[in-house]
A and B are shown apart, each in its own frame.
Chain A
Amino acid sequence: DGGITQSPKYLFRKEGQNVTLSCEQNLNHDAMYWYRQDPGQGLRLIYYSQIVNDFQKGDIAEGYSVSREKKESFPLTVTSAQKNPTAFYLCASSSRDRLYEQYFGPGTRLTVT
């Protein structure tokens, strides 16, 4: 079964700790994305990557970092510099042929206390 997996589904961390969210896809998609969703808001783009070893900042990249060492993996690190890290994080991917149609993973809800 092809798809995008994010783990874990729920994650709890203490303030001041860095945390890395996993995103893996076996769809052979070139592009991958990270979004954040807060209550009552749309999805906001954190980072995106068009190809391996390349990524660009989205609209709210401050306090986050990513890597794209493999085509199928795009982990997101939420650093202690992120002022409001508690949110629902969504990873997505899209193919070169249909760039406009993104496929989303199930999401990770991060709670920082």
Chain B
Amino acid sequence: DQQVKQNSPSLSVQEGRISILNCDYTNSMFDYFLWYKKYPAEGPTFLISISSIKDKNEDGRFTVFLNKSAKHLSLHIVPSQPGDSAVYFCAASPSGTYKYIFGTGTRLKVLA
């Protein structure tokens, strides 16, 4: 039973365009969400987070949107750059716990 789902295993985008990565969750107790970026054979690096009291958080080229009623979050990267090519994981944490549930990841390829 996957509580955090990333239904698109891969995505290709032209350099300079917008990349939109999606994530759905099923547990309404999740109240903090994160996006990580991972290159092959390396550990994930934290990108951006959002708490359930917000519906948008922005950091440079990265914006995360949260739609609580739909239990859906998305990561927008504008403009996309070749260096953004990586696997992106979303993760969710229930209130008051240290546990994180990760999605299966979406491999983004930005074409030059």
Contacts and interface: CB of A to CB of B under 8 A. Distances in A.
Nearest to B102: A42
A106 B44 CA distance: 8
Instruction: Give the size category of B's interface with A.
Output: 20 to 34
A103 B43 CA distance: 9
Interface stretch (B11-19, B59-67, B70-78, B92-100): B92-100
Number of chain A interface residues as a range: 20 to 34
Given A41-B104, A43-B102, A48-B98, A100 B34 contact: yes
A11 B102 CA distance: 25
Contacts of B93: 100
A31 B79 CA distance: 35
A104 B44 contact: yes
B49 A101 contact: yes
B27 interface: no
Interface of B: 4, 6, 9, 32, 34, 36, 41-46, 49, 89, 91, 93, 98-105
Interface of A: 4, 6, 9, 31, 33, 35, 40-45, 48, 50, 58, 88, 90-92, 94, 99-107, 109
